[in-house]
Amino acid sequence: MPSPGRYLTALLATILPLVLSAQEPGIRQIRVGNLKVTALLDGQVPLGKELLKGLEPEEAEAMLGGPEPTATSVNAFLVDTGKHRILVDAGGTSSWGLGHLAERLQKAGIKPESIETVLITHLHGDHFGGLLTPEGKRAFPRAQLRLSQIEHDYWTAPATEASLPEARRPIIKALKAMIAVYQSEGAYHPFAPGEAPCPGVQAIPTPGHTPGHTSYAFGQGKHAFWAIGDLVHFGRIQFAKPEVTVSFDTDSPKAAATRQALWERAAREKVLIGGSHLAFPGLGQIKKAGQGFIWTALKGKARR
């Protein structure tokens, strides 16, 4: 039996990260059944209404509450299952005003080497940029990196690079550099459709924003948590109007259909949702409301 002193130290070691993170900006930890979910804010980017497709500018402005671009969160989610630590998405780099994930993890008491799996929802820079350190090394030195094979094939195809405007091509170079680093250390493993990316996690194909965009489902029933990546960029618009898309979706009709279907399912199953670009911490539930849906952000210290 441990001495009272050692017992107290052990107890504090368990509690302290939770207490600290509650006080730290950009870190939010909650329990969902047996899962511990930590939302981590990588930074914010301004998104303007001119990116919206399928909505009149006046209506967009009214729904957004003004003409200014929306300061949009870039969130990553760390899920601790009790057996594994899994990170969903890795944020971007400082060149975009992002790249705060590493310091947030540190403040939350989570060592990058303790993360065993990194799941990527899709290969946009604000999701894979944080996979390498500024020195070009693996930011998660012991993690296996997993993402959809469809997504890998699309972004590494010469035709995709050729189809991009000149200004967006450097991102492909950055992507290939990242893949090369993880591949050279045997840590890069795209998964086939229907394959579980790691034990206890289901991949839900959610194509449209990009061809292999994938959401990840943890837990079950009322203790389920789904990280849904970029199914929504404008929370004030795309729950009420899932048909509204953004100009950087690769396939607008598919993105809209995928969103509608996922909103239906998430509302029916009452799952906890984590959205990459919903206002930090990006956690909440989707409910049906008339023809559309509403987002109910997780409040206070709510636990489920």
In whole angstroms, the minimum distance from the beta carbon of 180 to Zn ion comes to 23
> 185 is written with which tokens?
């250390």
Do residues 22 and 31 lie in contact, with contact meaning Cβ atoms separated by under 8 Å?
Answer: no
Q: How far is the CB of 171 from Zn ion (least distance, A)?
A: 12
CA 303 to each of CA 30, 35, 56, 221: distance values in angstroms, whole numbers, following the listed order: 6, 11, 39, 15
**Token pair in block for residue 37:** 């979910």
Closer residue to Zn ion, CB minimum distance, 28 or 127: 127
Nearer to Zn ion, 127 or 219 (CB): 127
Strands 272-274 and 283-289: antiparallel
Q: Which two tokens stand for residue 156?
A: 């590494």
**Measuring CA to CA, which residue among 254, 206, 201, 247 is closest to residue 230?**
206
Q: How far is the CB of 209 from Zn ion (least distance, A)?
A: 8
Which residues contact Zn ion (rule: CB under 5 A)?
A: 124, 126, 230
User: Closer CB to Zn ion, residue 144 or residue 276?
Assistant: 276
Nearest distance from C-beta of residue 282 to Zn ion, angstroms = 11
Side chain identity at 192, as an amino acid letter? A
Tell me the helices (H) and strands (E) count for the chain, helix number first.
Answer: 8, 14
Only one residue has tokens 């394959």, namely: 195
Angle at 104 between CA 148 and CA 86, to 5 degrees: 35
For residue 103 the two structure tokens come to 């310091």
SS3 at position 226: strand
- Min CB(127)–Zn ion separation in Å: 6
Considering the complex, state which of residue 30 and residue 278 has its C-beta at the smaller distance from Zn ion: 278
Of 51 and 294, which has the nearer Cβ to Zn ion? 51
We find the least distance from the C-beta atom of residue 278 to Zn ion, in angstroms, to be 11
**Shorter beta-carbon distance to Zn ion: residue 104 or 124:** 124
